[in-house]
A and B are shown apart, each in its own frame.
Chain A
Amino acid sequence: MPRILIVEDEANIADFLQRGLVYKGYEVDVAHDGESALAMARDRPPDLVVLDLMLPGLDGIEVCRRLRAASDVGIVVLTARDAVSDRIQGLEAGADDYVLKPFVFDELLARLRAVQRRRSPGSKDVIRIGDMEVDTAAREVRRRGGRISLTPKEYELLEVLARNARRVLSREAIFEKVWGYDHAGEADPVKVYVSYLRRKLGEPEVIHTVRGFGYVLRE
């Protein structure tokens, strides 16, 4: 169960973040200032940190820098729309991504999932399905020896399918894993990107549609 450290001095914001993330299955710690955040991160190392850059006492940027120096934890900073320099400084201090206040919970969740996926990519091995190889270390795809050039999104989708090869994944599950949101609603990017992938991967078909449910990758 991934552990998240929330560093936020506004009690009402920290509160909903905590409850929402717990609901989404994370283990959550909350710190209200920089010093206690650093101490907590030492005692119970988190997988992800949600860090408000406007903190009393120890400055958010500095907290970010020290967290980054101590570990390769995934860091998402919360920042103000007008504080462009904060945002840039935050990214330079080692943050993985930022979310502008006021934000929507789903968006923060999506960013956290994306950062988590990037920070802990799972086993770095080569997955083989028929005549196709997905090299998760190099993020490369080869088929019959030829390298196939994919966009980052296409690759991420293919990797999700490959890691679950021969298992049927629902559209929602794929959407959540690749885009980080829970509900796709009327938009169905999965379908669109699957069609891009199919075109690039060529014959014989490896991505199969399970009508009314989702997709499966098999030879």
Chain B
Amino acid sequence: MSLRLRLTLWYAVVLAAVLLMVFFSLQRFLNSWLLAEVDSRLESYAQEISSAISTSRAEGGATYQRVVRSIAREGFGAVPLFARVVSPDGEMVAFTLDMPTEFAPPDREALARVVSQGPFFDTGRARDGGELRLYSVPLEEGGRVNMVVQVGESLRAVASAITKLRQILIVASVVALVAAAMTGYLLAWQGLRPLDEVVALAEAVRGNQLGRRLAKKRRPAEVQRLADAFHSMLERLDQAFQQQRRFAYDVSHEVRTPLTALRGQIDVMLLDPDLPSGVRASLQRMAQECSRLIRLTSNLLLLASQEGGRPLNLARVDLDDLLIEVYQEAKVLAQDHVIRIDEQDQVAVRGDRDLLKQMMLNLVDNAIKYTPEGGTVILFLGRQGTWARFAVQDTGVGIAPEDLPSIFKPFYRARQPQRGRGGAGLGLAIVDWVVHSHHGQVRVESTVGKGSTFEVLLPLSESSLQQPSTESDAADSPALPTP
């Protein structure tokens, strides 16, 4: 469950509990307050009737009924009240007009209690089902109770007031709960929103984009602390990356001159046709290892400068010329292999000549690396629609299907490197980068134990498009069919 939802739920639960408490105490308070009012009214009414009866007795005149009716007729404010005078044995001697329907008949037990204990309040049930508040007062004559005055008031008004209050409270609570939950969610959302930015940045960070930072603005203190910590982590990462890049760059840069001299010296020695065959073979091995070192440093350098955002140096590149150059260099690498060109069309693309050459060499180097001695590496250069197609086919160990998706990642190497010939796993990553920066595609087809074919498609340059070579003819056909 998200933090936002959880915060909102807790909000709502606490608020609901508080509202429930308020609801019940308010109801109780109102109930007892209204009852107290009713009681005080009843008291004064009973008082009035009692004193009127005493007065009329002293004057020796009117009957109970007349006294009661006269007071009832005068009324008692706007509140309907009922009264009756009952003898202790339950005989009703006087009552107000609507009496019989409202009051239950006098209850002997209650009367006995009045006689023995004095006045008391009681809540009973009226005939119509509503509640009644009843106040009974004993009337004394000559030192003994001879009559009981009972006054009453319907509690219907009280009940309806409480019902009203309950309704209002329920509606108000629901509205308050919904409003609180929404506000709570909104607040949580707003409070946590700055976190989303941090998350988005963390997700966007890549090896070459460590310079990105969050925009400066007001944030909650907690989030700001997180952002600051995150920034300083990025800073340290960036430094580490730069140091690593700098190191790779410096090393490759430094070894370049000695490598050039070493390779050149070997090349020049090999020019001598009179070399003893053992020396020649040994020199060729040295040239091969040198080539491999050159490949490695070139890849490292490119990777280091690529992450620094090296721009492409675009021009028309004749891939067939490049193919010959690549082939010449590959011959040195492929001393224990057969390497040949089975298709060479005249195709030109727009691109960075040096990068394209490095890409092609990396593919060839990779093919040689994973092909056992005596195996064959075949190069193809042709057209496919509006694409230039460069392919390298080998009879090597192949690539397991589970490795295929990862081979273009930097520093990736198949789980079981088949042969000692290492590599930093940079070659194919650079192939991938070069091809994609030239808006091309690279594909691999591979069967374990049989070999692989790497295929690169690059968009043909306009001039190449205008001069498509016709299909090859008879005996001198340059293009062997692609297997």
Contact = CB atoms under 8 A, between A and B. Distances in A.
B473 A20 contact: no
Task: Using C-beta atoms within 8 Å of the partner chain, give the interface range for chain B.
Answer: 35 or more
B165 interface: no
A12 B265 CA distance: 8
Contact of A82 (B253, B321, B341, B467): B253
Contacts of B339: 185-186
B346 interface: yes
Nearest to B249: A82
A87 interface: yes
B268 A107 contact: no
Contacts of A124: none
B346 A153 contact: yes
A195 B476 contact: yes
Interface string A122-153: 00000000000000000000000000010111
A8 to B, nearest CB: 10
Interface string A179-213: 10100011111011011101100000000010000
B49 to A, nearest CB: 116
Interface in A67-106: 80-82, 84, 87-88, 100-106
B387 to A, nearest CB: 18
Given A13-B261, A81-B354, A191 B478 contact: yes
Nearest to B261: A12
A106 B267 CA distance: 8
Given A13-B261, A82-B310, A101-B257, A179 B324 contact: yes
A88 B310 CA distance: 14
Contact of A81 (B265, B268, B298): B298
B236 interface: no
Interface string B366-409: 00000000000000000000000000000000000000000000
B422 interface: no
Nearest to A13: B261
Contacts of A118: none
Contacts of A195: 472-473, 476-478
Nearest to B267: A105
Nearest to B473: A199
A82 B358 CA distance: 13
A152 B305 CA distance: 33
Nearest to A54: B257
A56 B21 CA distance: 91
B267 A20 contact: yes
Contacts of B328: 104, 106-107, 110, 181, 185
Given A106-B328, A107-B328, A81 B302 contact: yes
Given A82-B301, A192-B478, A17 B313 contact: no
Contacts of B325: 107, 110
A108 B234 CA distance: 45
Contacts of B267: 16, 20, 104-106
A12 B267 CA distance: 13
Contacts of B268: 16, 19-20, 23, 105
Interface string A107-127: 100100000000000000000
With a 10 A CB-CB cut-off, give which of B258, B268, B331 has the most chain A CB atoms: B268
Contacts of A219: none
Nearest to B463: A151
A10 interface: yes
Contacts of A100: 354
B182 interface: no
B320 A189 contact: yes
B324 A187 contact: yes
B318 interface: yes
A179 B341 CA distance: 15
A196 B354 CA distance: 27
Contacts of B341: 186-189
Given A16-B264, A151-B346, A187 B340 contact: yes
A24 B273 CA distance: 12
A199 B470 contact: yes
A3 B332 CA distance: 29
Interface of B: 249, 253, 256-261, 263-265, 267-268, 271-272, 291, 294, 297-298, 301-302, 304-305, 310-311, 313, 318, 320-321, 324-325, 327-329, 331-332, 338-341, 344, 346, 354, 467, 469-470, 472-473, 476-478
10 contacts: A13-B261, A20-B271, A81-B298, A102-B256, A104-B332, A105-B267, A179-B321, A189-B341, A192-B344, A195-B472
| Ranked 8 nearest A-B pairs via Cβ | A105-B267, A192-B478, A12-B261, A16-B264, A186-B340, A102-B260, A20-B268, A195-B476
Given A186-B340, A187-B340, 8 more contacts: A12-B258, A12-B261, A13-B264, A81-B298, A102-B260, A149-B467, A179-B321, A196-B469
